[in-house]
A = this chain, B = another copy of it.
């Protein structure tokens, strides 16, 4: 028997059936017409954002990194719930604009922006987070060619990382941004070239559950922004301090309390050097805003036994939820939280069960030797923590199965 991650606190049941947006999971599947189905509960997103806003300084902008989940109806809702979008491609630019986000509240980061992407972003009036001197040259040349004054920020590769983060984006040699010791020179150069300088983008890491580490990183980030701005001699219109707030996926993970982070950030902003006095500050979050709101529903096709072990085979799998299979950026496979939707909260049976996807590969394992209530063909399995990096971060064409359905719900 192996443990699984914690089921997010938001979920309840009625008559043993998991509720999503006030509806039974099975009736949502009926409405969608098939499984597998991703359900995103907008009320959970709203509550998460409300909790975060209550914890954070009033002046802080909340940006949504849409790569976490670009499902169009969710994006439309997020345009009203957040203060800006962060994008990473021309495709995401189109999605962000279609969702109704104002161009001047959109910023575009990514180490490999092609000329056609730079052109589309400059023409649309979104901010480019410059990743290198070479990219700056290309952006300035394209802006001149199209006759638009470009909105340009400088992405900084900080000399520190976010301790305990799942993904380190700073500290040492990195493909992201410009090394801190060259960032001010680049900003001065683009200002001199006549660009509309937007400030700094400093992203040290993501998916951290240690509030102390996040607080420390945010302090370092503000100090770095102030140092760089002093060197430029101008107040940066915006300091994007990155994200970093993690969510609990695995056994032993504890949800992060944003309140001490907000208090410390308020103090850090208040105490910040004068050069930042007129600056706006933004935090850029993806999974923190949406991961807990999503559930992946997949139907049990077969229950079988092999050499004394019990397997439940479902009609979904890693082609829709690669991260839950443990095959995306993790070294050791651990179990996401899962449940039998139609026996939610029921007593577990004594024998563990392994939930495997329908793909013909041993990699396709959604839960390894977990304790669950009875599982039978026809049952719906819920894989939680599916609101971020699910459908679009998985190899959906693998083995020729249909893509998962998606649905946004609210009570």
Contact = CB atoms under 8 A, between A and B. Distances in A.
Interface of A: 67, 70, 87-92, 94-95, 109-114, 131-135, 157, 167-169, 172-176, 179, 301-304, 306-309, 311, 313-315, 317, 322, 327-329, 331, 354, 356-363, 377, 391-402
Q: Is the interface of A mostly helix, strand, loop or mixed?
A: loop
Nearest to A96: B400
Contacts of A306: 157, 172-175, 179
A398 B67 contact: yes
Number of copies: 2
Contacts of A307: 172-174, 179
Contact of A377 (B134, B173, B303): B134
A53 B398 CA distance: 28
A174 B308 CA distance: 10
A81 B359 CA distance: 26
B92 A400 contact: yes
Q: Which of A131, A394, A398 has the most B CB atoms < 10 Å from its CB?
A: A398
A172 B88 CA distance: 44
A302 B111 CA distance: 8
A396 B322 CA distance: 12
Contacts of A95: 400
Given A175-B356, A301-B113, A399-B92, A167 B361 contact: yes
Contact of A301 (B70, B87, B114, B311): B114
